[in-house]
Chains A and B, each alone.
Chain A
Amino acid sequence: MMRFDSALGLEARRGPVATAVKVIVYTGMVLVFTGPLIGLLVSAFSRTLDPTSFSLWPDGFTLDNFIEAADKNVYGYLLNSFVVVGFGLLLQMLVSVFAAYSLSRKKFRGMAVVMLIMLATMMLPEEIIAIPLSLVLADLPLLHADLIGTYAGMILPVGAWGFSILVMTEFMKEVPVELEEAARIDGAGELRTFFTIILPLCRPALGVIGVFGFTMIWDQYLLPLIVAPEPGMWTLPIALRSLRSDDEVGLGVLLAASLLALLPSIIAFLAFQRQFMRGLTSGAVKG
């Protein structure tokens, strides 16, 4: 009797030939998609480096590349990245839960328009507003603040993200209202109800928007590029390109820096895998 767990029913096929084919296909997949990243990992710790290729076997383990990286301010760039992602994510999650609370719990005139605005921002690729955004950041309308060359310039624009807000809103709609009504009858104020009742219940969704927000902010490229003209403010991803073109910086430092830029998002993904997959499918289904 055949089982129908999948479209091709590969898993049900046994026997030496089927097993061999499966082993080859799956090993091939893992190699193709992780090989380059493992190559980077191994090479960054290698003593001798080949500028044309990665070694999958370490050629003399060394930390020299990471020590030398300190001279080229790689850890300064890394720190900048962490500052931006730390505060950016905190702001983004706060803004998202606040907005989601309103959109999922309150009924008010103009709500449909607000939803439309959220969706519109998701349809608007950041790249196309890069040039006017750089002018806005240099002189904020009404406030007349210049955010070029500041952390705020890299943090505030990622503070509101339509995806996070919508994922959070959908989740909050599922949270039963009885609990907060009880709190309200007990005389708890709006903010208190929010922080003591709603937020703890939303912990699973916080994981989803947290891990997505992290990779989204960590992957920012154009924004730091226009906000940080001086090397002192560079984040690690945008520093890589000039590390490479600088003749005084060796390949070893570039590889060490690349690895440092790679690890945080990989770790975030592996640690929050379940939440990541949940957000991935919900986000894609809603476009």
Chain B
Amino acid sequence: MSPSVTLTQAPPAPAASRRRPRRVRRRGTLVAWAFLAPALLLFLYFKFIPMAKGLVMSFQEIRYLDSTWVGFDNYRTILTDEAFIAAIRHSAVLALGTTAGSLVLGLALALLIEGPARYLWFVRTAAFLPVVTTMAVVAEVWRIMYHPGDTGMINSILGWFGGDPQPFLASEHSSLLSIMGMSVWRGTPYDMMIFLAGLVGVDRSLYEAAAVDGATTWKRLRHITLPALRPVFWILFTLAAIRGLRVFVEVYVLTNGGPNGSSEVLMTLVYKLGFQKGELGVASAGGILLFVATLLLTVLVQVMRRRQAA
């Protein structure tokens, strides 16, 4: 059904028959928009209007009744405020550590459990459970396991191997690392699963050819498997880095930024400013900055991929 083509090419015809396709086309377009309308309306109300509002608010000082335009003041506040700079740094460290940890472990585990055997399928399914577990529950569970006393679960396990008990979330020095550990635990199976999907696509005949040439397992991995996984790697990197930058629930539930601000990330700070201190302008600017950061990251990765491919 493509009336638009016949319209432009049809030779002069009686008016009646020319009008029909146009009406059909208009009706088709109308139907198309009608079916799209619910989605577009919901996006408009709950994505685009808030986004636009956030952008406007980021340039304002918000008061209960009247708001004044303050230009880039809110952004200046953020970029000069020590707490904000620390939070941005924590977000970046957390994003980088979680991303790298999940990628490396995810790849290693994917290689270890690749194969069609039935028991491997069981291992995969079991290992995947953390990914579908509600974040709030994961955090509660890990908060208990991270108990700083030497009877704490992870400390007990450390004890078996002769390790000293760690304070984990209770210390300024290890709170961020502890959150990272939990995020890696939850992120690794996800990356593993996507890597496994990528491994399925690797050409088996290349492995055979390599074996005929007498290549070692390591060489086969280095020259066949890893290059084939490169696109998967970049997708996972981008997804994980964005997820890491916007992290909120993990920190909010585990430490709420403490102790002493040592695990405060951008989103928990924005949340506190916006909902507890009523600094809506500055908080909005924080949100916009995060958006710009994720956008830049995505573009940067795309550019790097293009360059690498060329």
Beta-carbon contact of A102 and B207 below 8 Å: no
The smallest beta-carbon distance between B216 and chain A, in angstroms, is 11
Looking at the complex, which one of A54, A102, A134, A181 makes contact with B36 (CB distance below 8 Å)? Answer: A102
Q: How far is the CA of A107 from the CA of B298 in the complex (A)?
A: 30
> With A36-B142, A131-B280 given, is the CB distance from A262 to B137 under 8 Å?
yes
- The chain A residue sitting closest to B116, CB to CB, is A5
Q: How many residues of A contact B (CB 8 A)?
A: 92
Contact with A along B245-279 (1 / 0, CB 8 A): 01011001100000000000001001100110000
The smallest beta-carbon distance between B255 and chain A, in angstroms, is 12
Q: How far is the CA of A110 from the CA of B138 in the complex (A)?
A: 43
- Report if A287 contacts B (CB, 8 A): yes
- Report if A188 contacts B (CB, 8 A): no
The binding surface of chain A is classed by DSSP as helix
Binds B, one of A58-66, A156-164, A200-208: A156-164
Q: How far is the CA of A90 from the CA of B147 in the complex (A)?
A: 40
Q: Could you say which residues of chain B place their CB within 8 Å of the CB of A276?
A: 132
The smallest beta-carbon distance between A246 and chain B, in angstroms, is 14
Beta-carbon contact of A132 and B36 below 8 Å: no
Q: A52-B147, A132-B51 are in contact. List 17 more A-B contacts (CB 8 A).
A: A7-B202, A7-B221, A25-B112, A29-B113, A36-B141, A52-B152, A53-B152, A94-B38, A131-B275, A135-B53, A135-B280, A237-B135, A240-B136, A244-B140, A261-B136, A281-B193, A287-B238
Please give the residue numbers on chain B whose beta carbons come within 8 Å of chain A beta carbons, in ascending order.
1-2, 4, 28-29, 31-33, 35-36, 38-40, 42-43, 45-47, 49-51, 53-54, 57, 109, 111-117, 119-120, 123, 125-130, 132-137, 140-145, 147, 149, 151-153, 156, 185, 189, 193-194, 197, 199, 202, 204, 207-208, 211, 217, 220-221, 224-225, 232, 235-236, 238-239, 242, 246, 248-249, 252-253, 267, 270-271, 274-275, 280, 283-284, 287-288, 290-291, 294-295, 298
Please give the residue numbers on chain A whose beta carbons come within 8 Å of chain B beta carbons, in ascending order.
2, 4-11, 25-26, 29-30, 32-34, 36-37, 39-40, 50-54, 94-96, 98-99, 101-103, 106-109, 111, 114, 117-118, 121, 123-125, 127-136, 140-141, 156-157, 159-160, 165, 181, 190, 215, 218-219, 221-222, 226, 237-238, 240-241, 244, 254, 258, 261-262, 265-266, 268-270, 273, 276-277, 280-281, 284-285, 287
